[in-house]
Amino acid sequence: MTTVLLRLTLLCGCVVGLAGAAAAQTGAEVARAYREAHAPAIVRDYAEMLAYPNRARDLDDVTRAAAYIRNKLRDAGVDTRLLTLDGVPPLVFGELRVPGAQRTLGLYAHYDGQPVDPSNWTHPPFEPTLYTSAMDSGGRPRGLPADTEGVDPEWRVYARSAGDDKAPIQALLSVIHAFRDGEVTPTSNLIFFFDGQEEAGSPRLGDYMELVRERVEGVDVWLFCDGPAHQSGRPLLALGARGSMGMEVTVYGATRNLHSGHYGNWAPDTGMILARLLSSMKDETGRVSIDGWYDTAEPLSEEADAALRAMPDWDSQLKQELGLARTEGEPQTLPERLMVPALNVRGMTSGNTGPLARNIIPNTAVAALGIRLVQGNDPAHLRRLVVAHIERQGFHVVADDPDLDARLRHPLIAKVTGGGGSVAARTSISDPFVMQVIAAATDAADRAFVEGALVISPGLGGTLPIALFTDVWQKPALVVPIANHDNNQHAPDENLRLANLWYGIDLFAEILTMP
Amino acid sequence: MTTVLLRLTLLCGCVVGLAGAAAAQTGAEVARAYREAHAPAIVRDYAEMLAYPNRARDLDDVTRAAAYIRNKLRDAGVDTRLLTLDGVPPLVFGELRVPGAQRTLGLYAHYDGQPVDPSNWTHPPFEPTLYTSAMDSGGRPRGLPADTEGVDPEWRVYARSAGDDKAPIQALLSVIHAFRDGEVTPTSNLIFFFDGQEEAGSPRLGDYMELVRERVEGVDVWLFCDGPAHQSGRPLLALGARGSMGMEVTVYGATRNLHSGHYGNWAPDTGMILARLLSSMKDETGRVSIDGWYDTAEPLSEEADAALRAMPDWDSQLKQELGLARTEGEPQTLPERLMVPALNVRGMTSGNTGPLARNIIPNTAVAALGIRLVQGNDPAHLRRLVVAHIERQGFHVVADDPDLDARLRHPLIAKVTGGGGSVAARTSISDPFVMQVIAAATDAADRAFVEGALVISPGLGGTLPIALFTDVWQKPALVVPIANHDNNQHAPDENLRLANLWYGIDLFAEILTMP
């Protein structure tokens, strides 16, 4: 530890003299001291931010959430404004120019959240609730801490977006405040770019970038502050991410729900029709049976393949934790499976189950498909493959609910909607700016965990709008996640473990003061 | 028409002298005149009855609905009481003894309703709303009629249980009132038996029958006043009904929902697992692939087979109406398909679809199965066949959610619940009491429609607790439905066409005064 500190102090351009302090402190030390002194206030501030509803489709809500964050950033001394485009959430843009800085960092995060079905949450998703540890490990709810209380890093705050993706915003705010208080100057110019439409696929992010073209062009490396840490609990840095596409398939029976007694055995059984269609798409080993599904996936580069092989094999522990006797695609490991395009059923609806189940034959059955793309995959192409497959199963494919005439002409009809998606992206590990960030993240991980803790992945399984930065604007981009891997991202009871917020503060302090 | 009237007048033991009336009127004529004079009040009364929530599991609600109907029956001069058993809805029991009557009719109906998911209804299910015709044929909502208004028989009243099964209760009440006003005496003793748990499978009906054993033993023939008319719009009489059984199958993935990016391609895809299991249960022609599924179904008797062949073939019209290019089991017709045990998916749930769909891999997928039994099928036996089939697909079958240990030992786990069901029943067409009811129903149908309108079916596709009456108590039992076939029974926007209520009044007036 001493060695690391020494090395940092020697290398770091950010060594500052603190008025009245006996020894010079690194930026990371300043941030850590600030965090330790202000932990209860940081937790309360974070809870306040999480209380702002942030579904991308609720424009009023999401705009209020954006204004709140803009004000917080401005209070921290960042030159801030809301970029706006008609009908979509604003983008929180911020800029901190550092006289003499030779590098500009772009800091991407998103303040919008996934849709919520409050009936499945233990607490309302926008009433942040602190727990003494994870709910499913016997954690108990407790009030927000007063200034005089100690804060346990194992505490978790439960709320939508606690893990995905307001945590890095809070961590960055805390670091900026710590630096102001401690008179630390970052070593790079900073561009803050907080997206309000990530969970909706960031369809207008490119337009927002055009609005501040000269700023975007000046960025040397983008940091995507999003996603969870490695499942082992070790910190993670990723050189890319998969793309994502959602599709929805609806199959049709009669024009109305029918009584299962009076029509059962005669009326088309929509659930069975959908089941047959879905099961034609993927075999028992997890291999997608859609013609051409794997054809456009590019092979990994040598350096990406090397990074992949260096990753820890955590499958056994993960299977134990998640209660899985078998995984899809065994014996391939999770990191290997994330390098391949995925097709999943993310939702399925027909009639009702449980106490609301009724004796009907539902007139529709619906499946929501979740597709993840790897480098080389084009969303429109994969969509065409899915549609062609459905047609080969004998379905007449339509874009809208069929009218009576179409129903009478086609025994099998499938409505296919959705499909606008994002491509995958990868950044080269040998880019000099990338190497600087990796060095800083390595230091932060060494300090917060143990030497060599940082896991470097060739690509996240999740999706970020990285390709816009790497392919369109030709900038290197890295993913630096901080959330705990079991944060229930996108699911009910989403949460953040405070230790992960603390690590985020360490990480950004290190990166913002890297040589 | 004259011939029919003449025949009725000559045959009917119920001819009465009306004080001050010039000519003798039959009971049916008295009831029809009453209905024509009081149509607006009957509609308003019916709306009042429908406003009582009646889900069998909401004991307070359903008890209030029962008390309301008991009071209405008492007001009509029927000796009435609520039979009660702990923890289940009461049974409305009524008795009308007719001095000198040589026959006792049992009148079964049920006042409870299927569960409702109000979000799918156009109007709240317990706020009855009158429409000028069917909603989907351009009907428009209108207020309840004042006494001075004409009532169009094409009007429909929308509410839960409008078709299933409060309509016969209203029709019987109107007939009893008409007979009191017109001094008509029924030709049979009457036992009213209004069940409050039919939609929950009437598990305690046998116990209720024991509570009034001497009354039940005295019944000569039971009428099951439930179900819809024939799809052609013609009135229907059925000599039995299929049995019913609900089962639910849950398959498991990880112990929690997982992010479809970070785990997609590796975590078990619960929707696909369920889809494969379901599609193994039934082939594309509608044939159930579960071993032994058809083995215990008894062949039709000669008389039942003859009745089946005499039924109108309405498939083409029905397919046109329901927008179906193909039906399950083609070229077999609907009446034929109802003589065979059915397996349907009545509901399917996993994650969400539509705007609430999230990028997760749901940790469970659930299918609700609806099973219909024919004569010879035993619910417990069919349940065993389903479970054995699921096991043959490689699943470890459990009754409760698996613990971590079980999950780690079995790659595929299916929880199977439900299965308590009812058997099918059939009554012989040659029983003398049955023949009397058929003659009366034939007359009513001839009068309300055209000569020969009545359709006689060997068995309803739907389910009624008939076997208790036919098999346990050894009484003949007939089904006399009155609701329109498109009443959306068990589904949102359930409704009753007033012409069908009018037919119910005609029918019961005829049966209650049959020779």
B366 touches chain A (CB under 8 A): yes
Provide the pLDDT for residue B6: 34
d(CA B60, CA B54): 9
Question: pLDDT confidence of A330, banded at 50, 70, 90?
Answer: very high
B352 touches chain A (CB under 8 A): yes
Comparing A159 with A233, the larger pLDDT belongs to A159
CB B242 within 8 A of CB B415: no
d(CA B132, CA A247): 40
Question: pLDDT confidence of A166, banded at 50, 70, 90?
Answer: very high
> From the centroid of its chain, how far is CA A86?
25
Average pLDDT over chain A, rounded to an integer: 93
Residue for token digits 């600030």? Answer: A34
| Residue A1, pLDDT above cutoff 50 | no
Q: Taking the CA of residue A285 as centre, how many other CA atoms within 13 Å lie in the half-sphere pointing to its CB?
A: 6
Q: What is the DSSP string of B322-372?
A: HT-S--TTTTS-HHHHTTS-EEEEEEEEEE--GGG--SEE-SEEEEEEEEE
Architecture of domain B244-297+340-422: 2-Layer Sandwich (3.30)
User: Is the CATH number 3.40.630.10 carried by domain B2-242+424-512?
Assistant: yes
| DSSP for residue B472 | I
Q: What is the DSSP string of A448-507?
A: HS-TT--EEES-BSS--THHIIIIIS---EEE---B-TTS-TTSTT-EEEHHHHHHHHHH
Q: Which residues of chain B have pLDDT under 50?
A: 1-22
Query: Which chain A positions have a beta carbon within 8 Å of B332's beta carbon?
Result: 266
Å from A129 to nearest chain B CA?
Answer: 20
Strands B129-131 and B156-158: antiparallel
Q: What residue type is assigned to position A502 of the chain?
A: W
Task: Compute chain A's Rg from CA coordinates.
Answer: 25
Per residue in A367-393, pLDDT (tens digit) is 999 999 999 999 999 999 999 999 999
Over pLDDT 70: what percentage of chain A? Answer: 96
d(CA A510, CA A14): 10
| Residue A147, pLDDT above cutoff 60 | yes
Per residue in A67-105, pLDDT (tens digit) is 999 999 999 999 999 999 999 999 999 999 999 999 999
Best CA proximity match to A414, nearest among A432, A433, A400, A430: A400
d(CA A170, CA A498): 11
Q: Is A248's CB within 8 Å of B136's CB?
A: no
B276 touches chain A (CB under 8 A): yes
Where does CATH 3.30.70.360 sit in chain B? 244-297+340-422
Residue for token digits 């088309």? Answer: A268
3-state secondary structure A148-213: CCCCCCCCEEECCCCCCCCHHHHHHHHHHHHHHHHCCCCCCEEEEEEECCHHHCCCCHHHHHHHCH
Nearest CA in chain A to B58: A355
Summarize the confidence of residues A153-163 as an average pLDDT.
Answer: 98
Query: Which chain A positions have a beta carbon within 8 Å of B357's beta carbon?
Result: 115, 246, 248, 346-347, 368
Question: pLDDT confidence of A23, banded at 50, 70, 90?
Answer: low
Taking CB atoms within 8 Å and a gap of at least 24, the contacts of A68-77 are A69/A111, A69/A169, A69/A194, A70/A94, A72/A45, A72/A173, A73/A173, A73/A176, A73/A192, A76/A173, A76/A176, A76/A177, A76/A180, A77/A176, A77/A180
d(CA A452, CA A464): 26
Per CATH, the number for A243-297+340-421 is 3.30.70.360
3-state secondary structure of B129: strand
> Which residue among A337, A368, A460 sits closest to B266, beta carbon to beta carbon?
A337
Å from B270 to nearest chain A CA?
Answer: 7
d(CA B481, CA B500): 10
> From the centroid of its chain, how far is CA A306?
24
Where does CATH 3.30.70.360 sit in chain A? 243-297+340-421
Å from A342 to nearest chain B CA?
Answer: 5
Q: What are phi and psi of B106, to 5 degrees?
A: -100, 130
The tokens describing B281, both together, are 């249960």
Q: What is the DSSP string of B422-447?
A: E--EE--TT-HHHHHHHHHHHHHHHH
Best CA proximity match to A362, nearest among A276, A280, A281, A274: A274
Give the E-state strand segments of A174-332 in sequence order: 189-195, 221-224, 236-238, 240-241, 243-252, 258-259
Per residue in B92-106, pLDDT (tens digit) is 999 999 999 999 999
Best CA proximity match to A358, nearest among A264, A268, A249: A264
Best CA proximity match to B512, nearest among B24, B184, B134: B184
d(CA B404, CA A324): 9
Average pLDDT over chain B, rounded to an integer: 93
B297 touches chain A (CB under 8 A): no
Strands A156-158 and A495-497: antiparallel
Å from A115 to nearest chain B CA?
Answer: 6
d(CA B462, CA A263): 8
Please, which residues 201-240 of chain B have a Cβ atom closer than 8 Å to chain A? 227-228
> Which residue among B268, B344, B366 sits closest to A324, beta carbon to beta carbon?
B268
Best CA proximity match to B309, nearest among B319, B317, B301: B301
Provide the pLDDT for residue B24: 75
Where does CATH 3.40.630.10 sit in chain B? 2-242+424-512
Per residue in A185-228, pLDDT (tens digit) is 999 999 999 999 998 888 899 999 999 999 999 999 999 999 89
B290 touches chain A (CB under 8 A): no
Q: Which of A346, A373, A382 would you mutate first to test chain B, the one with the most B CBs within 10 A?
A: A346
Q: What is the ipTM of this complex?
A: 0.82
Count chain A–chain B contacts defined by CB atoms under 8 A: 376
Strands A477-479 and A221-224: parallel
The fold of the A2-226+489-512 domain, in CATH, is Aminopeptidase (3.40.630)
Q: How many CB atoms lie within 10 A of CB A149?
A: 13
